[in-house]
Amino acid sequence: MYEFDFVRPATIAEAVQALAADEAQALGGGQTLLPTMKQRLAMPEALVSLTGIDELQGVCPDGEALAIGAATTHADVERATADSYPALAALAGQIGDPAVRNRGTIGGSLANNDPSACYPAAALASGATIVTHRREIAADEYFEGLFSTALEEDEIITHVRMPVPQAAAYEKFVQPASRFALVGVFVARFEDGVRVAVTGASEEGVFRWEEAEAALSQSFSADAIAGLSVDPDGMIADLHGSKAYRAHLVQVITKRAVQAAAA
C-alpha cells in the first residue's frame, strides 16, 4: 500500500466537499477498492469514508418500498429486511463471507457494479431507485455495463428505494473461491407483472431477461420458461464456464428462483 489521506466526514455535505478535491475517491466498506489499491490499479490521493455518516445508515419503510441507506452493511441489510423483504435478506446473507458482509455496503456494491455482484440483480428486478445527493435514478437507467453506471464522478449514493414485490426469490450458482455469482437470478412478481434480473452471466453486466418476464407474467411457474433460452453469444466465457454453459445456467437458475418465489 502507498501513502494517502483519509477523511471521515460526519455529514453528506462534508463528504461532497471532500470529494471535490483532486484525486479523492469515496470509500464504502472497501471490499473492492482497497484490494484494487494494493495492486496499484487505483491510486487515489485521498479516501473519503462514508461509513461515519448517520444519514447513510439503516433501513426504514418508504411507502410500499424500503429506503436502504447506502452505507448499510450487507449483514445489517440481512437483519433488517428478514421480515419485510425476505428475498433481499437471503441475497445479502449469501454475499462473500462474514467478514465481507460486516464491512461491505449496499451503496458500494451498486456504485462499483461488478458484473457478478448480487445487489444489481435485486435492484433491477425490484425496479429500485438509486438516490444520490443530487438526483434520483431508476435502476433501468442506472446500470450501463461492466463496472459502469450513470453516476457522475463526484456523485454520492445516499440511499436505495427498493419496492417490495408480492413474491420474490434470489438464486445463484456460486463460484466457490470468491462467493460471487457464476450466474445469479432475482425474480420479483408485482401486481402489474414479473421482473427477472440476471447477474454474473453477460458481457454487458446485469440485465433483464424480458422474454422470461413476459412468459412469467402470463403464468408464474417454472414450466412457463421451460422452452426459453438466452443467446450464448453475449455471455461471459472464462475458466469457470463457457458461453453456452452460462446461457444454460441462466434458465436453470431462473427456474429455481421462480419455484422458490412461488413457494
In this prediction, residues 119-129 reach a mean pLDDT of 98
Distance CA 227, CA 90 (A): 28
pLDDT value at position 34? 80
- Report CA-CA distances (Å) from 93 to 121, 187, 227, 228: 15, 17, 31, 30
Q: Tell me, what CATH number does 146's domain have?
A: 3.30.465.10
Of 133, 163, 193, the one marking the end of a domain is: 163
pLDDT value at position 207? 98
End-to-end CA distance of the chain: 49
222 with 244, same domain: the answer is: yes
67 with 156, same domain: the answer is: yes
Asked, for residue 118, whether it belongs to a domain, the answer is yes
Lowest mean pLDDT among 30-39, 100-109, 213-222: 30-39
Other beta carbons less than 10 A from residue 218's beta carbon: 11
198 with 246, same domain: the answer is: yes
pLDDT value at position 32? 82
What are the pLDDT digits (tens) for 53-82?
999 999 999 999 999 999 999 999 999 999
> 161: burial class by Cβ within 10 Å (0-12, 13-18, 19+)?
buried
| Total domain count, the chain | 3
User: What is the average pLDDT value for the chain, to the nearest integer?
Assistant: 95
**Which domain covers residue 256, as residue numbers?**
167-262
Query: Above 80 in pLDDT, residue 2?
Result: no
Distance CA 158, CA 55 (A): 8
Asked, for residue 53, whether it belongs to a domain, the answer is no
pLDDT value at position 44? 87
101 with 192, same domain: the answer is: no
Nearest Cα to Cα of residue 254 among 196, 201, 204, 203: 196
Query: Above 80 in pLDDT, residue 1?
Result: no
Asked, for residue 93, whether it belongs to a domain, the answer is yes
Of 163, 193, 223, the one marking the end of a domain is: 163
